[in-house]
Chain A
Amino acid sequence: MTTQQEAAERPAAGSRAIPAFVGQVLSGVVLLVLLTLHMIAQHFIVPTGLRYYEDVIAWLRNPVVIAVEVTFLVFVTYHAITGVRAVLFDFGFSERTERRLTAVFWVVGIGTVVYGVALLAAILNAA
């Protein structure tokens, strides 16, 4: 039997929201790994908890770090955008409005990733 709680936390069978829900769960699992790595590498192994400028630049010169951070940015943005989208859809918009909002979220999501990658490039160029 489906409880109220389950009904609230997952889309009904056959719902158009199922792909987004599965994507949210999968990106969440990836984020658990990447966020743990990010927190350990960026904060917990650093004696002061935050790197000063020279240490940040030295850290970012490592291509593996760049790859991990960009992957992290892509997944965290996807997870955040689909999460906010799910929250907004709780308002009960029409199908047409939902499609428009989805398009807006795609633009915001891609814009966020592009901004993040451009920021990384600008930081390294400025150093």
Chain B
Amino acid sequence: MASTTVEPRRPSTAPAQRRGVVGWFDPRGRRLGGLAFIVNRLSGLGLVLYLYMHLMILSLLVQGPGAWDTFVDIALSPPVLVFDVVLLVGMLIHGLNGIRVGLVGLGLVASRQKALFIAAMVISAFVAFVGALRIFGGE
């Protein structure tokens, strides 16, 4: 007689687990949480790139005041300050969304993750706005 054993149905997995990194951009079955997942990883990768760029730029200090002070003058020009705002936004989104990921991942307040994500984004937007005013010299 043929076996009637039925393999238990595997729990559904997220797009990222189904299709590797390409799955991050798979919109199927995605809701706000899926967007939060993508945002967290992309902002994290951007910040890693910035970390190594930052270390390279700091090496200008070894060359003395001429090289460093020239860089500071360029870095303080308005077009470059835009990148400071982008960096600030990236840090805020990754940091605050990271708190949500940590809390949900450790099994805490999992039922509130959507509200936490919205709160993280609202706080990020507010602090980024205040930071941008500060960066561009406003009061």
CB-CB contacts below 8 Å: A72-127 with B: 76-77, 80, 83-84, 87, 90-92, 112, 115-116, 119, 122-123, 126
- Shortest Cβ gap from A20 to chain B (Å): 12
Contact: B17 with A48, CB < 8 Å? no
- Contact of A7 with B14 in the complex, beta carbons under 8 Å: yes
How many A residues are at the interface, by size bracket?
35 or more
Contact between A7 and B55, CB atoms less than 8 A apart: no
The interface of chain B, by Cβ under 8 A from chain A, is: 11-17, 20-21, 23-24, 29, 31, 33-34, 36-37, 40-41, 44-45, 47-48, 51-52, 55, 58-59, 61-65, 68-69, 72, 75-76, 84, 91, 95, 98-99, 101-102, 104-106, 110, 113, 134-135
Between-chain CB contacts (< 8 Å), 19 pairs: A2-B11, A4-B33, A5-B36, A6-B113, A7-B13, A9-B33, A9-B101, A9-B104, A10-B104, A10-B105, A25-B105, A25-B106, A28-B95, A76-B51, A91-B20, A112-B52, A119-B55, A123-B62, A126-B63
User: Secondary structure of the A side of the interface?
Assistant: helix
A35-B91 in contact (CB<8A): yes
The B interface, classified by DSSP as helix, strand, loop or mixed, is: helix
Q: How far is the CA of A123 from the CA of B62 in the complex (A)?
A: 5
